[in-house]
Amino acid sequence: MNLEEYKGVYVFAEQVDNKLSGIAFELLGKAKDLAADLDAEVAAVLIGSDVIGLADELAAYGADKVIVVDDPQLKEYRTEPYAHALASVINEYKPEIMLVGATAIGRDLGPRVSARVATGLTADCTQLEIGDFPLNPVPGKEQKHNQLLMTRPAFGGNTIATIACPDNRPQMATVRPGVMQKIEKIEGAKANVIEYNPGFVPNDKYVEIMDIVKSVSETVDIMDAKILVSGGRGVGSPENFAMLEELAAALGGEVSCSRAVVDNGWKPKDLQVGQTGKTVRPQVYFAIGISGAIQHVAGMEESDLIIAINKDESAPIFDVADYGIVGDLNKIVPELTKQIKAAVAAK
């Protein structure tokens, strides 16, 4: 493998139902930083059926180049044709870095593609930067420059590791949704659009889609909320969540929850914050009746302001809270809601 041949920072521009996923823009934002350090270009790889119209949107968020693989076989996400498309693009265009979202699709596609193009894949990264490997020079060992250093949590968020892929290309990573920032939209930006189709020949590895069942959900995406009022087991019952909903409504925020709440069947999984749920970084995060298991904290600790209310003084949530109130949420939350409503009305 001639590493010198591999150039550019590429992102997999995930789309579902011909609508680009938020992660595509977040990855482009990060790719721009990395590309600036490497003096390289940013390319989005857009895979689907009838998706070419999305190229301008990718340009507006930072793509210099958009490689489009458009084919009827790619209408719905299926592992095999998507893996064929992405691996073919990698083999043809030889990116130095390939970023994929750590979404349900990305975590299925990434490993299959990395195995096919014989490179490493670092999962669920929360930080990416260009640097040296090894970090410090080791006598008798070559220190390589301009390497992608990929940082990720492991052991349920208890440790973090920084990983490099010095001898294989592309350097591949999946990146958690919600941790990278998209850039300010550049209106009217145009990218160099390249259509590439490696050809699709269905075979035994093409699974057949028999049905698609969309969950009927009226909930908004908690990852977009500026204020989250999150409840845990300590809220006590599904009925008690009404208190949290009122507080969220008074603040113009949304309700989310911990895993225990989902496990108890009180709230749907798409409201779950944490390692097996969603990573959120709102301006304000209320943790109400949440003890703060490490898996939960991993999903919310980047919030700008964390307010915890819990009757258990020793709850670990207080270790990450900016303001921690030890007290009875049943008394505090309704009164707080009342006063916030009054303050808003007085404006």
Partner 1 sequence: MKIVVCVKQVPDTKGGVQFNPDGTLNRAAMLAIMNPDDKAGLEAALRLKDQYGAEVTVVTMGLPKAADVLREALAMGADKAILVTDRVLGGADTWATSSTIAAAIRNLEYDLIITGRQAIDGDTAQVGPQISEHLDIPVISYAQDIKIDGDSVIVQRQFEDRYHVLKAKMPCLITALSELNEPRYMTPGGIFDACDAEITTWGRADLKDLDDANIGLAGSPTKIAKASDKVRKGAGEKVVLDPEEAVSYLMGKLTEKHIV
Span 36-75, contacts to partner 1 by CB under 8 A: none
Range in contact with partner 1 (rule: CB under 8 A) among 28-36, 67-75, 212-220, 232-240: 212-220
Residue whose CB is less far from partner 1, 52 or 160: 160
Residue whose CB is less far from partner 1, 105 or 255: 105
Residues numbered 288 to 347 that lie near partner 1 (CB under 8 A) are: 294, 297, 301, 305-307, 309, 313, 318-328, 331-332, 335-336, 339-340, 343-344
How many CB atoms are located within 10 Å of the residue 298 CB?
A: 21
Residue 333 CB, nearest distance to partner 1 (Å)?
A: 9
Q: Where are the alpha helices (DSSP H) in 226-328?
A: 241-251, 259-263, 294-300
Residues numbered 226 to 245 that lie near partner 1 (CB under 8 A) are: 227
Residue whose CB is less far from partner 1, 191 or 235: 235
110 binds partner 1 (CB under 8 A): yes
Residue 117 CB, nearest distance to partner 1 (Å)?
A: 10
Residue whose CB is less far from partner 1, 187 or 208: 208
266 binds partner 1 (CB under 8 A): no
Whether 56 and 182 have beta carbons less than 8 Å apart is answered as: no
- Considering only residues 15, 88, 114, 256, which one is a binding residue for partner 1 as defined by CB under 8 A? 114
Residue 240 CB, nearest distance to partner 1 (Å)?
A: 16
120 binds partner 1 (CB under 8 A): yes
Whether 67 and 91 have beta carbons less than 8 Å apart is answered as: no
264 binds partner 1 (CB under 8 A): no
- Work out whether the CA dihedral 271, 122, 25, 200 comes out positive or negative: negative
Task: Determine the Cα–Cα distance for residues 303 and 279; give it in Å rounded to an integer.
Answer: 10
- Considering only residues 15, 88, 103, 258, which one is a binding residue for partner 1 as defined by CB under 8 A? 103
Residue whose CB is less far from partner 1, 134 or 238: 134
187 binds partner 1 (CB under 8 A): no
- Render 18-76 in DSSP notation, one character per residue: TEE-HHHHHHHHHHHHHHHHHT--EEEEEEESS-GGGHHHHHHTT-SEEEEEE-GGGSS
Q: Is the preceding peptide bond at 111 cis, omega within 30 degrees of 0?
A: no
Task: Determine the Cα–Cα distance for residues 255 and 245; give it in Å rounded to an integer.
Answer: 6
Residue whose CB is less far from partner 1, 193 or 284: 284
Residue 180 CB, nearest distance to partner 1 (Å)?
A: 18
Q: How many residues bind partner 1 (CB under 8 A)?
A: 88
Residue whose CB is less far from partner 1, 186 or 344: 344
Residue whose CB is less far from partner 1, 11 or 121: 121
Q: Which among 236, 233, 239 is positioned nearest to 259, based on CA atoms?
A: 233
186: CB partners within 8 A, 6+ apart: 59, 60, 61, 62
Is beta strand 284-288 parallel, antiparallel or unpaired with respect to 15-16? unpaired
Residues numbered 139 to 158 that lie near partner 1 (CB under 8 A) are: 149, 153-158
Residues numbered 157 to 186 that lie near partner 1 (CB under 8 A) are: 157-168
Task: Determine the Cα–Cα distance for residues 318 and 269; give it in Å rounded to an integer.
Answer: 25
- Report how far Cα 154 is from the mean position of its chain's Cα atoms: 16
Count the alpha carbons within 13 Å of 150 in the hemisphere toward its beta carbon. 23
Range in contact with partner 1 (rule: CB under 8 A) among 38-46, 67-75, 117-125, 228-236: 117-125
Residue whose CB is less far from partner 1, 56 or 151: 151
- Considering only residues 36, 135, 220, 242, which one is a binding residue for partner 1 as defined by CB under 8 A? 135
3-state secondary structure of 233: helix
